[in-house]
Amino acid sequence: MCEQFNSKIMQARGVRDKLEDHKRNSRFWVPQWVGDAKGEKFEVCCRMDKYVVDLGERTCSCRVWDLCGIPCAHAIVALGWRNLKPEDYTHGGSEVTNESGLETQERSSVMLQSHIVETQESIAN
Domain locations along the chain: 2-124
CA–CA distance, 22 with 60 (Å, rounded to integer)? 13
Locate the DSSP E strands across the chain.
30-33, 41-46, 49-54, 59-60
pLDDT of residue 110: 54
Answer whether 86's CB lies under 8 Å from 94's CB: no
pLDDT tens digits for range 14-30: 788 889 999 998 899 99
Answer whether 95's CB lies under 8 Å from 101's CB: yes
pTM of the model: 0.65
If 0-12 CB within 10 Å is exposed, 13-18 middle and 19+ buried, where does residue 101 land? buried
